[in-house]
Chain A
Amino acid sequence: MKRVVLACEVNGARITAEVEPRTTLADFLRDALAFTSVHIGCGHGVCGACTVLVDGRTRRGCTTLAASAHGRRVETLEGLSDASDPVIAGLQRTFLDHGGLQCGFCTPGILLAARELLARQPAPDRAEIREALAGNICRCTGYGPIVDAIAAYVAEQAE
């Protein structure tokens, strides 16, 4: 099959690549660029492990074709880590303090979903936190510690 040109920005760097049309954005980010925070759980839009940002908004990497990212700004958790994003840095700390992760497979997606919630609603209650995470499945924690971790971050910010 004819490959297509993909020119976009990934974690601040301009990239140009040729991709097979059927390559998903999640596969492209992992396999071609080694951004392995993009986890592939279900591969069809249900679990949220593959969450990335496209033009600043959360997106499923597995239900987006890499070719569709042409001309767009893509970010993975790597691009927001190492204290470059204060909200992610704060959440990473409270997730550690509150046992918000065990195996960590869901964590990148959950951090990005939580960050999007906090941008819109800086003081969410627990029900709002749960609703914002409805698209992110965690097989380990039972969700309670995840909600605790986000609520703890919210409480810290209010101090």
Chain B
Amino acid sequence: MTPAPFEYIRAETVEEALAALAEYGDEAAILAGGQSLVPMLAMRLARPAVVIDIGSLAGLDHVARDDRAVSVGALVRHRRMELDAEIARALPVFAEAARFVATPAIRNAGTVGGALALGDPAAEYPAVALALEARLRLASTRGERCVDAADFFIGAMETAAAPDELLIGIEIDAAAPGDGFGFYEIAERRGDYALAGAVIVRRAETGTAGARVRVAIFGAGEVACLAEGAAAILSDAPAPAWDAGLLQAVKDATRDDLRDLALDAFHARLAGVAVARAARQLAEGEPNERRAA
């Protein structure tokens, strides 16, 4: 399997990458970790005239934390999201999700920016970004802007990024005391793309006993999306009261939420199961089995 020929530009700075994007626009493809783009080139599903390699560019591989938020550079690899101590503390649901992205050698190469910019409906990160209300930072020679995850993922392999824009990083509010999460993925084999998966993030509301719950779904539909009906049920009840009856209601609500978005009834049903299991994890504080890999 050999890709069709293309010109290759090795960008050493963000400015070089942006200048090349401005020049070639939709003729060009950004190459980050290459774990989606190189297979697409090999299968000739993508035939860009120019490939702009940002994989060795300096300055986009930071994990930085201030008192409120965590900023993650676009070139941070999945493996680091899985193992980094700061991510484990501040964005534990992201660390959990990273363990489910492909297999170790692919996680060593693939990047946060690539997995988000691709907008694959079966990928974990878009749903994590929705549940965590991530802000995505885009840059071009025209300037910089910040897009909420809720406005970024538009359709299958379709995002709000313009052809000349580079995703440079994301910002997410760090977990606070009282927050919790659940993550559940249904896949045929470990490391495969999900048939359906759910990410639940519970943010404690400061000064009250209440919490706000967000539920995001991946794999089951044309695009990662929020399940708002399911989230409303979970927001209204304190987690210890999430019994079997409530979880059944959450399952039904998820299927309802996905009425127009699910690939079919089977995927909508799986999504409901994933949400119920993720909710149970959150309530019981019992995450997926931990394995060194």
A22 touches B5 (CB 8 A): yes
Number of A-B contacts (CB under 8 A): 115
Size range of the chain B interface in the assembly: 35 or more
- Bound Cα distance from A54 to B39, whole angstroms: 18
Contact of A134 among B7, B10, B189 (CB under 8 A): B189
Known contacts A20-B5, A65-B53; A117 and B292 CB within 8 A of each other: yes
Determine whether the beta carbon of B10 is less than 8 Å from that of A67. yes
Partner of B292, one of A60, A63, A70, A124: A124
Taking CB atoms, residues of chain B closer than 8 Å to A51 are 105
Which residues of A, 6-55, contact B by the 8 Å Cβ criterion?
20-22, 24, 27, 43-45, 48, 51, 54
Binds B, one of A74-82, A95-103, A125-133: A125-133
Q: Does the CB pair B190–A131 fall under 8 Å? A: yes
Q: Which residues of A contact B90 (CB under 8 A)?
A: none
* Contact yes or no, A134 B6, CB < 8 A: no
- Which chain A positions have C-beta within 8 A of B5? 1, 20-22
The interface residues of chain B lying within 8 Å CB-to-CB of A116 are 104
Pair B291/A65 contact, Cβ less than 8 Å: no
> B105 touching A58 by the CB < 8 A rule?
yes
Complex Cα–Cα for A54 and B2 (A) = 21
User: Could you say which of A22, A60, A124 contacts B3, with CB atoms under 8 Å apart?
Assistant: A22
Residue A93 lies at the interface, judged by CB distance under 8 Å to chain B: no
Tell me, rounded to whole Å, the shortest Cβ–Cβ distance linking A127 to chain B: 6
> Quick one: which of B8, B79, B292, B293 contacts A21, CB cutoff 8 A?
B8
Which residues of chain A are near B292, meaning CB under 8 Å?
117, 120-121, 124, 128, 131-132
Q: Which residue from chain B places its CB closest to the CB of A23 in the assembled complex? A: B2
B248 within 8 A of A: no
- Least CB distance, A118 to chain B, in whole angstroms: 10
15 A-B residue pairs with CB within 8 Å = A1-B6, A2-B8, A4-B10, A22-B2, A22-B4, A24-B42, A43-B1, A45-B35, A57-B108, A59-B109, A62-B38, A67-B8, A68-B34, A72-B56, A113-B105
